[in-house]
């Protein structure tokens, strides 16, 4: 082979090797970019604590444009074992109780109507709460428990009210069960305070204030001793108050 041919072959080989290296580099770059993108998406997902949006179905005994009339009817509802909670939307709604399952609400409505009590079912819609966080492990678990405790407390107090209404528990026994519910909540709140009092972002601060309000609600429920209003009514009123706190929190951190 002549020197000229050797030079040409060497040049072609160099070009081929250069193209191959460029292609290899592009492949690695694309792969690396894909990994970064995937990792970034995972980080966003893993860096969030969330309570999903949910609906509840409330028995409404009275609705009016006037708060005074709503208050009068709320008093009557409480004496009959309903919550007598006034939920303010486009009107003032006097609520007796609420349910996760719409069919349960319909059964209660039918039972009330058969006993000559007029009522409607209204849907209470609660927005999702999402809090971004860099916390991991135990910190993230505590933050998750704190965000989700509102709905969990509703469920627990709902079950407690049903147990009283069906006479599975006396008022005294119900207070014993409430003590366990309250202790578990206070433990969650205490853990939250210990971990996040020095990390008060705007969302964390709103959550902290809401937890403090819930603690007051539970303490007042535990201390209730009057016989003027049935204890089941007070329990139902408390779970509506807690749902109200959740609703305000969801609006505050949107």
13 pLDDT exceeds 60? no
**Within this chain, do residues 63 and 119 fall inside the same structural domain, yes or no?**
yes
pLDDT band at 246 (very low <50, low <70, confident <90, very high): very high
Give the Cα separation of 143 and 194 in Å (integer). 11
Q: CATH code at 240?
A: 1.20.120
In sign, the C-alpha dihedral spanning 111, 112, 114, 118 is: negative
pLDDT confidence of residue 36: 34
Q: What percent of the chain has pLDDT over 90?
A: 71
| Contact call for residues 48 and 130 (beta carbons, < 8 A) | yes
pLDDT tens readout for residues 82-132:
999 999 989 999 999 999 999 999 999 999 999 999 999 999 999 999 998
Give the Cα separation of 97 and 49 in Å (integer). 29
**Within this chain, do residues 88 and 153 fall inside the same structural domain, yes or no?**
no
pLDDT confidence of residue 9: 43
pLDDT confidence of residue 197: 85
pLDDT confidence of residue 4: 38
Give the Cα separation of 232 and 161 in Å (integer). 5
**In terms of DSSP H, where are the helices of the chain?**
3-46, 67-79, 102-114, 137-165, 171-196, 202-223, 231-252
Give the Cα separation of 30 and 74 in Å (integer). 65
222 pLDDT exceeds 60? yes
**Within this chain, do residues 171 and 64 fall inside the same structural domain, yes or no?**
no
pLDDT confidence of residue 46: 62
DSSP structure class, residue 253 = T
pLDDT tens readout for residues 139-169:
899 999 999 999 999 999 999 999 999 999 9
pLDDT confidence of residue 210: 97
Average pLDDT score over residue span 8-16:
42
Give the Cα separation of 63 and 91 in Å (integer). 7
Question: Average pLDDT over the chain, rounded to whole?
Answer: 85
pLDDT confidence of residue 228: 87
Domain count, the chain: 3
More confident residue, 72 or 197: 72
Average pLDDT score over residue span 236-246:
98
Average pLDDT score over residue span 220-249:
95
**Within this chain, do residues 163 and 194 fall inside the same structural domain, yes or no?**
yes
**Within this chain, do residues 136 and 120 fall inside the same structural domain, yes or no?**
no
77 pLDDT exceeds 80? yes
pLDDT confidence of residue 226: 85
| Contact call for residues 174 and 164 (beta carbons, < 8 A) | yes
**Within this chain, do residues 110 and 139 fall inside the same structural domain, yes or no?**
no
Average pLDDT score over residue span 38-46:
37
Domain end residue (candidates: 69, 92, 125):
125
**Within this chain, do residues 141 and 116 fall inside the same structural domain, yes or no?**
no
Q: What percent of the chain has pLDDT over 70?
A: 82
61 pLDDT exceeds 60? yes
Query: What's the angle, vertex CA 107, arms to CA 103 and CA 112, rounded to 5?
Result: 145
Domain end residue (candidates: 103, 125, 147):
125
**Within this chain, do residues 222 and 242 fall inside the same structural domain, yes or no?**
yes
- Look up the domain containing 206 and give its range: 129-252
pLDDT confidence of residue 41: 30
DSSP structure class, residue 47 = T
**Within this chain, do residues 138 and 70 fall inside the same structural domain, yes or no?**
no
pLDDT confidence of residue 227: 85
Site of tokens 């026994």: 173
**Within this chain, do residues 217 and 190 fall inside the same structural domain, yes or no?**
yes
Average pLDDT score over residue span 49-54:
94
**Within this chain, do residues 100 and 192 fall inside the same structural domain, yes or no?**
no
**Within this chain, do residues 227 and 120 fall inside the same structural domain, yes or no?**
no
């Amino acid at each position: 082979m002549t020197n000229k041919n050797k030079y040409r072959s060497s040049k072609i080989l160099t070009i081929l090797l250069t193209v191959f290296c460029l292609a290899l580099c592009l492949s690695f770059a694309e792969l690396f970019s894909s990994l970064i993108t995937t990792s970034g998406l995972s980080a966003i997902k893993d860096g969030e604590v969330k309570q999903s949006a949910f609906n509840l179905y409330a028995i409404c005994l009275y609705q009016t444009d006037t708060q005074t009339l709503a208050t009068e009817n709320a008093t009557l509802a409480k004496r009959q074992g309903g919550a007598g909670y006034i939920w303010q939307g486009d009107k003032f709604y006097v609520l007796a109780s609420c349910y996760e399952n719409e069919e349960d609400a319909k059964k209660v409505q039918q039972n009330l109507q058969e006993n000559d009590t007029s009522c409607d079912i209204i849907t209470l819609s609660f927005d999702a709460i999402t809090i971004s966080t860099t916390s991991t492990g135990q910190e993230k678990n505590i933050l998750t428990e704190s965000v989700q405790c509102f709905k969990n407390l509703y469920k627990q107090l709902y079950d407690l009210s049903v147990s009283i209404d069906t006479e599975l528990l006396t008022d005294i026994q119900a207070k014993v069960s409430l003590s366990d519910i309250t202790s578990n909540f206070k433990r969650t709140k205490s853990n939250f305070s210990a971990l996040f009092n020095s990390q008060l972002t705007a969302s964390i601060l709103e959550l902290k204030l809401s937890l403090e309000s819930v603690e007051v609600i539970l303490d007042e429920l535990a201390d209730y001793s009057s016989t003027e209003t049935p204890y089941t009514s007070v329990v139902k009123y408390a779970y509506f108050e807690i749902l109200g706190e959740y609703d305000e929190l969801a609006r505050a951190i949107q």
